[in-house]
């Protein structure tokens, strides 16, 4: 009887336990990875992949639906959770002329979707050494002169799956406002959809990366706690503890690691 109660308690705790992001992803792709009986699917819709029609369950994301249809992703996929920017997709809805863009792992399919995957954005990335560059707007124009052609059409912002104000940080770069460039582009996943849609042929995400690097080196004040820690390292304050860790056996290290203080969610 005691064993039975323990088993029931375990199941209950498992239900209330917060699911990890990987568990949620696994659950959402279950129909693709394990198969699904047609009788268990209540709603179907038709999508077009490279011009060919496929009947797929209505609950799937674009990526899941393409895999359900038999496509195997060797590239154009990564985290499957909206973080890596690898699954850029261009699509058009039934009865609409306008092209739309999205991340295939974030967007659910709709009936009549015409889908095209984009393996990568063929945008040139320039090479530079920020230690030799001036902290001024001229650095943006030096490496990305096409920003001067920006007509403020806001197409880049509309294309962004992260809902970033892309046009705003392009305009900020023209003014030499490194802080705004860094802040407005901080959540960029470099999917390339902004560059693909831009009529001025601006490579927004590379421009933003240059801005963040320059701001990090020249614009942000060095934190006091960082100065303190660097001084402690230089004075060999942690040398004794480091030698101890180096000479500790693996099992003991694992015990130390799992027992460490962690921030609560």
- pLDDT value of position 105: 86
For the chain, the helix, strand and coil percentages under 3-state DSSP, each to the nearest 5: 45, 10, 45
| Residue 174 and residue 151 share a domain | yes
| Residue 156 and residue 106 share a domain | no
CATH number at residue 141: 1.10.1060.10
Phi/psi at 68 (5° precision): -60, -35
152-170 burial, b at 16+ Cβ within 10 Å, e below that, comes to eeebbbebbbbebbbbbbb
In this predicted model, which residue has the larger pLDDT, 207 or 36? Answer: 207
- What is the Cα 74 distance to its own chain's centre? 18
Last residue of a domain, one of 79, 94, 119: 119
Query: Residues 8-55: pLDDT tens digits?
Result: 444 444 444 445 555 655 555 555 545 556 666 778 889 998 888 999
| Residue 244 and residue 193 share a domain | no
Name the DSSP class of 231.
H
Q: What is the mean pLDDT of residues 67-92?
A: 79
Q: Is the whole-model pTM more than 0.85?
A: no
Match 């799992």 to its residue by tokens: 258
Phi/psi at 52 (5° precision): -100, 135
| Residue 88 and residue 47 share a domain | yes
- Helix pair 204-214, 166-175: axis angle to 10 deg: 50
Residue 20 lies in a domain: no
Name the DSSP class of 12.
H
Neighbours of 79 (CB within 10 A): 15
CA dihedral 84, 182, 203, 172 (to 10 degrees): 150
- pLDDT value of position 9: 43
Among 24-33, 159-168, 181-190, 218-227, where is mean pLDDT lowest? Answer: 24-33
Query: Residues 77-89: pLDDT tens digits?
Result: 777 776 777 788 8
- pLDDT value of position 6: 43
Residue 245 lies in a domain: yes
Neighbours of 144 (CB within 10 A): 20
| Residue 98 and residue 47 share a domain | yes
- pLDDT value of position 3: 46
Task: Please report, rounded to a whole number, the percentage of residues in the chain having pLDDT higher than 70.
Answer: 81
| Residue 229 and residue 213 share a domain | no
Question: What's the domain count of the chain?
Answer: 3
**Are residues 83 and 127 in contact, defined by beta-carbon separation less than 8 angstroms?**
no
Last residue of a domain, one of 93, 119, 145: 119
Residue 209 lies in a domain: yes
| Residue 173 and residue 150 share a domain | yes
Residue 28 lies in a domain: no
Match 């999917």 to its residue by tokens: 191
Residue 14 lies in a domain: no
Q: Which domain holds residue 66?
A: 41-119
Last residue of a domain, one of 119, 144, 174: 119
CATH number at residue 78: 3.10.20.30
């Amino acid at each position: 009887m005691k064993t039975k109660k323990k088993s029931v308690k375990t199941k209950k705790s498992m239900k209330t336990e917060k699911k990890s992001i990987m568990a949620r992803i696994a659950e959402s792709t279950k129909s693709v990875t394990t198969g699904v009986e047609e009788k268990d699917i209540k709603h179907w819709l038709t999508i077009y992949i490279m011009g060919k029609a496929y009947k797929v369950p209505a609950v799937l994301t674009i990526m899941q639906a393409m895999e359900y249809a038999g496509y195997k992703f060797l590239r154009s996929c990564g985290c499957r959770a909206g973080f890596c920017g690898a699954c850029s997709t261009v699509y058009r809805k039934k009865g609409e002329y306008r092209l739309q863009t999205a991340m295939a792992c974030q967007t659910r399919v709709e009936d009549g979707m015409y889908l095209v995957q984009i393996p990568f954005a063929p945008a040139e990335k320039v090479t530079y050494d920020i230690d030799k560059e001036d902290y001024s707007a001229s650095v943006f124009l030096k490496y990305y002169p096409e920003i001067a052609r920006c007509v403020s059409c806001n197409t880049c912002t509309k294309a962004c799956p992260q809902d970033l104000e892309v046009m705003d940080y392009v305009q900020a770069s023209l003014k030499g406002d490194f802080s705004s460039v860094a802040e407005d582009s901080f959540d960029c996943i470099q999917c390339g959809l902004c560059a693909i849609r831009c009529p001025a042929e601006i490579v927004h995400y590379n421009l933003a990366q240059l801005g963040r690097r320059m701001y990090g080196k020249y614009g942000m004040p060095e934190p006091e706690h960082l100065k303190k820690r660097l001084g402690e390292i230089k004075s060999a304050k942690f040398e004794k503890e480091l030698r101890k860790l180096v000479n500790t056996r693996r099992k003991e290290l694992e015990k130390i690691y799992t027992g460490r203080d962690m921030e609560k969610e």
